[in-house]
């Protein structure tokens, strides 16, 4: 498949319960199945036990056991061998405690424009922050390195996908992240990238097994992850599991039709609406909001990726 710098207009070719089960932080992050947590875990995100909510039901966690990270809206630096040092923006809720492993959302901004990557990453982080604060998870928002504010994908390796992996690893070293509950999200070009990561094996250090679920706001598979309907169908059919998916797009967005095509594609390949597939066509154009991100979190919060 032809690879391009995402966001470049010329598409330049660059060929809980009483019983809490935990696995050690050294356990491999790769998963083979989808797990669904009891509803109270998302309703009461800070609780280890809620009286009356199936108190004997075991819950598996994959804690990273990281420590030392600050709370609030912060920035951190990550280094990728052969690719330099890069800024990542985080939102860590005031309720965070290293005694309790929390979910993580990787938030990928859209094409930002020249010199605007930092601002776009901070906007993504800040728009997610109220949802993270209310629900007790950490947001990690990297910055695209492409000259026009988009993303540089593999090949070659390393690429911006290595920044994503380094950002997740850094957060897991600094905070106690539940590795079974990583959620991916992307807006516009970031959404195109999320489809690419999940449905294409590119030799990058993250894949479908990195995430329990993912969401796309105003993105489309055919914009980057595949170049024809037949190719898009093929990569979806080849997916090793039915990863839960949420799609949001405005009815006035030029990407509305391809987003609807993606929704239909997933249904045709066995995803079930309101079970592991959500689709929202909202009144609007090419944008996203905190309210929409809250809906996404509500839909995807219960899911785990379990080995």
User: For each of the chain's 307 residues, which pLDDT tens digit applies?
Assistant: 445 555 533 222 222 232 334 444 433 444 469 999 988 899 877 655 544 445 556 789 999 999 999 999 999 999 999 999 999 999 999 999 999 999 999 999 999 999 999 999 999 999 999 999 999 999 999 999 999 999 999 988 899 999 999 999 999 999 999 999 999 999 999 999 999 999 998 887 899 999 999 999 999 999 999 999 999 999 999 999 999 999 999 999 999 999 999 999 999 999 999 999 999 999 999 999 999 999 999 999 999 999 8
pLDDT at 201: 87
pLDDT at 32: 65
pLDDT at 59: 86
Q: Which pTM value belongs to this model? A: 0.90
Q: Please, what sign has the CA dihedral across residues 196, 233, 243, 39?
A: positive
pLDDT at 48: 54
pLDDT at 43: 87
Which domains are delineated in the chain? Answer: 20-306 (3.40.50.1820)
pLDDT at 163: 98
Q: Would you say 176 and 64 are in contact if contact means Cβ atoms under 8 Å apart?
A: yes
pLDDT at 126: 98
pLDDT at 44: 79
pLDDT at 39: 86
Measured from the Cβ of residue 153, the count of other Cβ atoms closer than 10 Å reads 25
pLDDT at 124: 98
């Amino acid at each position: 498949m032809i690879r391009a710098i995402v966001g470049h207009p010329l598409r330049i070719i660059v060929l809980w319960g009483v019983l809490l089960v935990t696995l050690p932080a050294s356990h491999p992050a790769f998963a083979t199945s989808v797990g669904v947590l009891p509803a109270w875990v998302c309703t009461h995100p800070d609780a280890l036990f809620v009286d009356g909510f199936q108190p004997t039901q075991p819950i598996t966690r994959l804690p990273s056991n990281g420590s030392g990270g600050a709370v609030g809206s912060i920035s951190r630096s990550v280094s990728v061998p052969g690719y330099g040092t890069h800024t990542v923006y985080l939102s860590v809720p005031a309720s965070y405690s290293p005694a309790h492993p929390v979910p993580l959302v990787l938030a990928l901004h859209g094409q930002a424009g020249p010199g605007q990557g930092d601002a776009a990453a901070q906007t993504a982080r800040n728009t997610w922050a109220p949802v993270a604060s209310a629900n007790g998870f950490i947001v990690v928002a990297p910055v695209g390195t492409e000259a026009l504010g988009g993303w540089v994908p593999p090949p070659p390796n390393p690429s911006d996908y290595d920044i994503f992996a380094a950002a997740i690893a850094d957060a897991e070293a600094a905070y106690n992240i539940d590795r079974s509950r990583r959620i991916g999200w992307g807006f516009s070009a970031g959404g195109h990238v999320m489809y690419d990561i999940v449905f294409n094996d590119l030799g990058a250090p993250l894949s479908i097994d990195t995430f329990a679920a993912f969401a796309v706001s105003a993105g489309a598979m055919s914009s980057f992850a595949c170049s024809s309907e037949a190719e898009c169908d093929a990569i979806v059919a080849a997916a090793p599991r039915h990863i839960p998916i949420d799609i949001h797009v405005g009815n006035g967005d030029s990407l509305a039709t391809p987003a609807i095509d993606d929704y239909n594609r997933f249904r045709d390949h066995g995803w079930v609406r309101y079970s592991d597939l959500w689709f929202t066509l909202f009144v609007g154009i090419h944008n996203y909001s905190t309210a929409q991100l809250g809906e996404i979190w509500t839909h995807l919060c219960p899911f785990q990726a379990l080995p």
